[in-house]
A and B are shown apart, each in its own frame.
Chain A
């Protein structure tokens, strides 16, 4: 059986699940059966995951990329494109299987399924349980469409779809204004990104005459010289889209707020899958990016900057989900750094390992929040290792993995990224940009240290020491500041458990079992990227060989993975482990060895300004509020004002002149003509009097004058263009 005959089931099954549960949520009367909801939601996802695995296995046997077109979605036909050529504006709805889409598909289906299982436990007490799973399944459908689509337009459909699901899920606790605002922020920021993406798609059509991956990449790879000139603009447009979806600077602001949604959503959408769509897009477009070293350098710089920027914010956060949110932004930065320095496989490798340990961390955080009856402030936790051992161990494993300690997953992927940055040179860009990746390498090392520090800070504050729950209520001035970001899981719980404010408790197996699976993944997933140089084989890692087919040779030159001397490789590994250990040791001395946390408090007191800046996330939200948002609103108000008042203001002068000249005459017209007309139309006395008043304030005449001015404007425009044309000609 050809893969195409059943591949469509992979995205479609979750859609069917979403439809069934969505319909039940909207129309079923009374209490909905949770068993049925679970059966539909989990069953469809599991089945989809199994079929996906089967397809992956079949692909693995032959390693032949496979593309199947199901229907001609937009049969637009031919049109002119750049250079007087005819391009094909058709869009087909097709799916594509190759090593990249399989990797993404496996991550999405299996991690998605695990998180569904977890959510049955976590969301058990919530209102709108069925609706929640309908949204979650719909998300799975859109995400699978995004990663499996065979052209950019289908990717865009999925892209918009996952966005929509994300807003709906962020706002799932819809009775809270914060969640509503967070959803709105995510939406608007993503629109800026989509603007870039959509422009990129149109530019593709314009220059390549198609948006199909295979055709675009074949053209670009076959004739690189022809497209080099346009690649930079095209790639930057696409990258703007990626920045929006994958929360890169300066469009990252929505992601931390998005954590207002339920924790399984944070894990699935805002850590493991949706936010990595931008990385997927850049890696998918690697042929285009490789044509433009400038664009690659931009990607690398934005990635590295985001990595360090978000990591430093993470140092000072006290909300457990906020720490993880900034950590996610930072790790996504790593992935873009990797893509920017040409280590596309490392980007996807880190994407995959990150999906394991970050999902584990988020779900662990959810378990902690669940156990502490909705508390998210780490200053009110502590000593939870005693109460929730399974959560403790699994989260501990994931923390070690993200910190980059071998042989856990995060170490291999992060090391590969840093090594790639270290060895990359942009020769064609000249000094000093040629060796700029070395700077990015340094930034990446620093960010790695911060990561190790804030993750172990989280670990020590949460699981080690004494429980500070009830005793430290009403802590500090900043507690209120963070509080509105909470997912406030307590709402549905307080009455069920009857231990609000009591001792924390371990979560049910449906949650911790998932944590275990993800923890095991966090340990093992890195082995596929084991650097074979260490055992004396000079060849790409297994993961690199797996993804090699998508790195098409450009202009006949095959893609080269960086190769290094064994000694150099070992030195880099030692350095990257060393920075991680330094971070961990500092966290240990700050938060474990000294239970009163005197050192960090001294530091914060010693540099209050710096601490404030970090705590308030560099005031970026405030800056945006004061500039971009204010600017748009002011512009809109100005336009509105012009529209309603231009009449009374600028034009009034003209009217007065007219009245002076025609004086009496116009009054007569008003009296007889207008009165007559009005009386004909309006029988009510009140209507006609108000109407007359409005007529006499000149609104209508002035509107007519505006129209006259409009004609003049058109004439001026015409003449201006004429003159310009003459000057050019």
Chain B
């Protein structure tokens, strides 16, 4: 451990200390003050963003903790995205924390620890450092999912998530141990060198399969998705937004890094598995969403489908594919958080906002928000000129150029199906009269909706900076893969 190490680890250090302070704050201040907690959290996020900036500028080789940790542009891309996403979720959460029934300080400190875990995931170059980050994220997530302590649905969600999450961690670890057995190392670069000569090694392949299964659980891909609808429906809506964006994006960060950095030369052995998972996710996720009447459940299935699309980028093993993953995560985060914010907006009135009917007639009472919702749904469906189109364009193009034309056909067909259920909300908002007519949005949720709306449109119409950013971010990984 050197001073340079500390510099590269600065964001994580800031977050860890900040998370502890948030936890201690009520002891010092003695009061459950939601507003103060929110501002402290936002301040912490600003500090983290500044730390990321400092760490990114600290120079090359940017390795810390021996070689367990790297602060490369790939990690920076995801870390900045995480900070933005968590900031939005902080604002979304403020509403249910400010009425004092739930401890706000604890909530935000858990969020800070989860963020810290995600950052370790983004930076990990060693399966153990990645795993530790993943567990930090997961443990915080289990508690957050059950944060409505007095609601049966919420505790049930937490319990299911915990038991299944633990199972998946077991599977993941078992996979890692097999890989270690075969390669003699858990470092991604060492694995990469070792597997280059080991095509067809059965133990290694079983290890990769189990590792993949564990990761598929985290990104909620079929057949490891069974927890998703229940947990997403049961968890408090801001936490659902967190699980379906931040947590999923972090899981894709490690998915991409492990497969691109460590396992790329083993591609002929694992491509059939990932292709099957991607196809199943797109098909099951989209078709099961068609008949859902509960919006949270529908979005849960849709998020399963989105994991399937993003897997195309992992599968492609190409520059376009990896860029596609990054871009898709970025555009998906904004559209998805925007959608969840809309669900929350309607949720103001007790438990409304969860059913498709609750959106009836929204366009008359809140034209801007109805419009924003249309934009989010179009983006999720991949219709230009929203950002979602750019993401899908990359992923589908990557699938085709990697020779997976059949998967691209499924993907395009299934995005057509997805518009079917997204459009039900558009019909409800624009073509029906109804209850949503008297909605009074809270200021913070409104702010998030507007931010997501602007981002979704801007990234769709002027995506150049995003694309160049993604291209820069993948450089270290692609260079390594082509070596």
B-binding residues in A (CB < 8 A): 25-27, 71-77, 79-81, 87, 89, 91, 153, 156-157, 160-161, 164, 167-168, 171, 174-175, 179-180, 183-184, 187-188, 191-192, 194-195, 198-199, 202-203, 205-206, 632-633, 635-637, 639-640, 643, 647, 677-678, 681-684, 686-688, 690-691, 694-695, 699-700, 703-704, 706-707, 709-711, 713-715, 717-718, 720-722
Contact = CB atoms under 8 A, between A and B. Distances in A.
Contact of A180 (B229, B371, B431): B431
Contact of A156 (B318, B384, B427): B384
23 contacts: A74-B463, A74-B467, A76-B323, A89-B401, A160-B383, A164-B378, A174-B433, A188-B420, A188-B423, A191-B416, A192-B416, A202-B412, A636-B288, A639-B284, A681-B159, A682-B149, A684-B150, A687-B152, A690-B156, A711-B209, A718-B209, A718-B269, A718-B272
Nearest to A194: B416
B10 to A, nearest CB: 33
A171 B431 contact: yes
B291 interface: yes
A686 B423 CA distance: 38
B104 to A, nearest CB: 18
Interface in B397-413: 397-398, 400-402, 405, 408-409, 412-413
B210 interface: yes
Interface stretch (B36-44, B117-125, B160-168, B247-255): B160-168
Interface string B91-106: 0000000000000000
Nearest to A699: B160
Contacts of B416: 191-192, 194-195
A700 B288 contact: no
A694 B405 contact: no
Contacts of A81: 401
Interface in B31-55: none
Contact of A690 (B152, B162, B213): B152
A474 B67 CA distance: 85
B320 interface: yes
B135 interface: no
Interface in B220-241: 223-224, 226-227, 229
B246 interface: no
A157 B385 contact: yes
Given A639-B288, A686-B152, A703-B226, A26 B397 contact: no
A710 B223 contact: yes
B182 interface: no
Contacts of B323: 76
A714 B212 CA distance: 9
Contacts of B292: 640
Given A202-B396, A205-B397, A632-B420, 8 more contacts: A157-B385, A188-B420, A633-B291, A643-B229, A647-B226, A699-B160, A707-B213, A715-B209
Contacts of B371: 26
Instruction: Point out which of B151, B160, B394, B471 has the most chain A C-beta atoms below 10 A from its C-beta.
Output: B160
B287 interface: yes
A704 B167 contact: yes
Q: Is the interface of B mostly helix, strand, loop or mixed?
A: helix
A25 B371 CA distance: 13
B109 interface: no
Contact of B223 (A175, A633, A706): A706
A640 B159 contact: no
B181 interface: no
Contact of A171 (B206, B419, B430): B430
Interface in B453-483: 461, 463-464, 467-468, 471
Contacts of B152: 684, 686-687, 690-691
A695 B159 contact: yes
Contacts of B433: 174-175
B288 A640 contact: yes
B290 A710 contact: no
A234 to B, nearest CB: 12
Nearest to A646: B226
Contacts of A633: 290-291
Contacts of A77: 319-320, 471
Contacts of A89: 320, 397, 401
Interface string B431-448: 111000000000000000
A707 B383 CA distance: 33
A80 B367 CA distance: 44
Contacts of B390: 74
A257 B242 CA distance: 42
A201 to B, nearest CB: 9
B400 A157 contact: no
Given A76-B320, A202-B412, A709-B223, A704 B467 contact: no
Contacts of B413: 195
Contacts of A639: 284, 287-288
B158 interface: yes
A175 B361 CA distance: 9
Contacts of B385: 157, 161
A168 B363 CA distance: 12
Contacts of B291: 633, 636-637, 640
B307 interface: no
Instruction: Point out which of A75, A202, A206, A633 has the most chain B C-beta atoms below 10 A from its C-beta.
Output: A202
B463 A73 contact: yes
Contacts of B196: none
A633 B417 CA distance: 11
Contact of B420 (A191, A677, A699): A191
A157 B164 contact: no
A695 B417 CA distance: 34
A174 B160 contact: no
B276 interface: yes
B58 interface: no
Sort A-B residue pairs by CB-CB distance and give the 8 closest, nearest first: A710-B223, A721-B272, A180-B431, A26-B367, A636-B290, A171-B431, A682-B155, A191-B416
